[in-house]
Amino acid sequence: MDFLYPKDISTKNFTTKNKLYWKILTDRIWKVLFMLAFCFGFYCWINIRWSTWYGTQLEPRCQVPEEELEDMRLIGRQTKDILDKHNMTYALGFGSLWGALRHGDILPWDIDIDLIVVLDRNSDIKGTIDWLKKEMEAQGMEVYYRDWIGIIQGYSPVYKSQLDVTFWCDYYGTGTMFRCSGWEQFIFFVNYRYHYIFPARLVKPPLPTLNFINRSWPVPRNGIEIQKIHYPNDWWKVAKPKGC
């Protein structure tokens, strides 16, 4: 706390009646409080803005070539078979859920398939990630686990079409689903609480199903309710890439 004591003021035998001392001290406290408030405000702004950066494409396409979409469908069906084989609770999420709701297929401009896997909070989360990664690799995909965001990303061997698997659980038994893995959710916790966490009842099995890439896929309950959480600023409209 030495920075609070002005170097040009002798503190020896000073009293609270020293008005000059208290004026300098008060000015410095206000400066420190201002800097703290500014940093906190900037941090919150970054948190909120993060949602506009998430998934941003450098070269957005209005129509992904059909061969790439078919490649994406292939790894989607392969991953579905793996999850079904192990009786996992999962559902379509994010852009893929929009595709199932509106087209019964991948959105023409979508760059990946999004899957939400629901885990018990006491389960071996790391073990689940490891075996799923290995089984996806056994299907010929290039597979990576991204520690920072806590997701598995699988890529088709030909066109490098992408599939993302996120892991969710009710950490605290409060009926709210949080990401089970990754550090991003803790660093950008304001954004995650505003855009990502959702009621556990929306993914309580047995889940309803919708047609998607010529298969019957489980989807969250209550139609677009989960999308109102994940896309609070534009859930009511079709958000195409810029220029489309």
Which tens digit of pLDDT belongs to each residue from 195-226? 789 999 999 999 999 999 999 999 999 999 99
pLDDT of amino acid 6 = 52
pTM (predicted TM-score): 0.79
Q: Do 94 and 198 lie in a common domain?
A: yes
Query: CATH number for the domain including 103?
Result: 3.30.460.10
131 contact partners, CB below 8 Å, separation of at least 6: none
Strands 215-218 and 198-199 turn out to be unpaired
Choice among 78-82, 110-114, 126-130, 189-193 with the minimum mean pLDDT? 189-193
Q: Is the peptide bond before 206 cis (omega within 30 degrees of 0)?
A: yes
Q: Do 81 and 142 lie in a common domain?
A: yes
Confirm whether 211 is domain-assigned: yes
Is the pLDDT assigned to residue 47 strictly greater than 60? yes
Expressed as residue numbers, the domain containing 37 is 2-51
Q: Do 9 and 126 lie in a common domain?
A: no
Q: How far apart are CA 130 and CA 140, in angstroms?
A: 16
Q: Do 98 and 190 lie in a common domain?
A: yes
- Across residues 40-46, what is the average pLDDT? 66
| Residues 116, 92 contacting (CB under 8 angstroms) | yes
Confirm whether 58 is domain-assigned: no
Average pLDDT, the chain: 85
Q: Do 24 and 102 lie in a common domain?
A: no
Q: Do 157 and 113 lie in a common domain?
A: yes
Q: Do 136 and 220 lie in a common domain?
A: yes
**For tokens 């989360």, what's the residue?**
125
Confirm whether 237 is domain-assigned: no
Question: Which of the given ranges, 41-45, 110-114, 119-123, has the highest pLDDT on average?
Answer: 110-114
Q: What is the tally of structural domains in the chain? A: 2
Q: Do 199 and 150 lie in a common domain?
A: yes
State both tokens at 15: 């009293």
Is the pLDDT assigned to residue 11 strictly greater than 80? no
- Across residues 78-87, what is the average pLDDT? 96
Confirm whether 241 is domain-assigned: no
Band of pLDDT at residue 19, cut at 50, 70 and 90 = low
Q: How far apart are CA 28 and CA 22, in angstroms?
A: 10
pLDDT of amino acid 57 = 47
Confirm whether 23 is domain-assigned: yes
Q: Do 77 and 193 lie in a common domain?
A: yes
Task: Tell me how far CA of residue 230 lies from CA of 65, 145, 194, in angstroms.
Answer: 27, 22, 8
